[in-house]
């Protein structure tokens, strides 16, 4: 009798080699995944060290109470660290007090071409950080603007609540509505191109004769000696959805109370302010500079 053997499982069978190859492939895949995980962990770890070092220097240079948030842009931190230059580093500090009126200013800076050699970073000898270009900005929020407007003796203005900030074309600031209706420029509420002046609509609720009235003041905001100057031009009043007309003399008195100059403090790296923009809820002062150093002195 001839004895048959199972060629797939017997000694020397041909199925054993594919199984060995399958195990080898699994080991290779697992090894690659572990290596990738270690590289990602190392990337995040090295980035955290760098961000902490930059945050400490930014805190000192910006004279902040707390460490600002620092983030490195780009896919791989280690690849940038090896080259010694980082494409984009962002710095954010929120809730920065400036004098007595502005208590919640946000500071933001985009740093491009940041030079920090890997050896200095790892060895702890990183003292100064050259930067090719900086774009800095400070943001003044509606609550701080409201506080500044309320800083007068008029009871009506002091009662303003829920102040809002919205962009509006400069033409709409000076164009009076016809018969109490909104002009096309009012409805569009589109901002002009970025520059040293911008249109803004400040709206809030005030108590007039015991009734809540919506008051909107159309103003120009300008950069004057690095400060934000608010110059009101016209106002609109509505009560119960209906327009309210005031004598021009009274309107002029109300408008005067909205004229304010706000000092937003210095821009990051003492960048010179060059533009002001209006976004919903925020007035933003911006500036750019080149070839600066973080941590000097």
216 in any annotated domain: yes
Q: What pLDDT is attached to residue 24? A: 62
* β partners of residue 243: 238
100 in any annotated domain: no
Q: Is the pLDDT of residue 190 over 60?
A: no
Q: What pLDDT is attached to residue 286? A: 93
Q: Is the pLDDT of residue 294 over 80?
A: no
High-pLDDT (> 90) share of the chain, %? 23
The count of structural domains within the chain is 1
pLDDT in tens, 33-79: 554 444 455 555 667 777 777 788 777 777 777 888 888 887 677 77
Identify which of 167, 122, 145 has the alpha carbon closest to the alpha carbon of residue 263.
145
Q: What is the pTM of this model?
A: 0.74
231 in any annotated domain: yes
211 in any annotated domain: yes
List helix spans (H) across 63-107: 77-83
Query: pLDDT category, 261, cuts 50, 70, 90?
Result: very high
107 in any annotated domain: no
174 in any annotated domain: yes
73 in any annotated domain: no
Q: What pLDDT is attached to residue 121? A: 65
Q: Is the pLDDT of residue 141 over 60?
A: yes
Identify which of 27, 24, 3, 30 has the alpha carbon closest to the alpha carbon of residue 16.
24
**Which of the pair, 13 or 234, is modelled with greater confidence?**
234
Return the H-helix or E-strand segment holding 42: helix 16-62
**Which of the pair, 29 or 148, is modelled with greater confidence?**
148
80 in any annotated domain: no
Q: What pLDDT is attached to residue 96? A: 85
Q: Which range of residues forms the domain containing residue 253?
A: 142-266+274-279
Count of beta carbons in the 10 Å neighbourhood of residue 284: 19
């Amino acid at each position: 009798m001839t004895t048959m053997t199972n060629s797939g499982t017997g000694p020397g069978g041909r199925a054993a080699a594919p199984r060995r190859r399958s195990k080898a492939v699994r080991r290779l895949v697992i090894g690659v995944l572990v290596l990738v995980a270690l590289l990602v962990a190392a990337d995040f770890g090295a980035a955290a060290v760098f961000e902490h070092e930059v945050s400490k220097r930014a805190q000192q240079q910006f004279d902040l109470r707390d460490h600002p948030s620092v983030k490195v842009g780009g896919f791989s931190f280690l690849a940038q660290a090896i080259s010694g230059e980082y494409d984009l580093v962002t710095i954010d500090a929120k809730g920065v007090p400036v004098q007595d009126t502005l208590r919640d200013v946000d500071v933001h800076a985009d740093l491009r071409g940041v030079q920090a050699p890997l050896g200095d970073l790892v060895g702890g000898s990183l003292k100064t950080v050259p930067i090719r270009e900086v774009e800095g900005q400070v943001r003044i929020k509606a609550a701080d603007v409201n506080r500044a407007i309320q800083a007068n003796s008029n009871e009506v203005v002091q009662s303003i609540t829920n102040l809002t900030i919205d962009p509006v074309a400069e033409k709409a600031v000076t164009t009076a509505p016809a018969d109490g209706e909104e002009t096309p420029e009012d409805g569009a509420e589109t901002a002009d191109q970025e520059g040293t002046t911008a249109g803004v609509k400040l709206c809030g609720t005030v108590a007039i004769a015991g009734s809540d009235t919506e008051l909107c003041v159309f103003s120009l905001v300008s950069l004057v000696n690095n400060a934000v100057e608010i110059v009101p031009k016209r106002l609109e009043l509505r009560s119960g959805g209906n327009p309210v007309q005031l004598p021009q003399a009274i309107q002029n008195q109300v408008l005067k109370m909205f004229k304010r100059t706000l000092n937003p403090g210095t821009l990051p790296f003492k960048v010179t302010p060059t533009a002001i923009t209006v976004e919903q809820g925020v007035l933003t002062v911006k500036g750019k500079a080149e070839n600066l150093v973080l941590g000097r002195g």
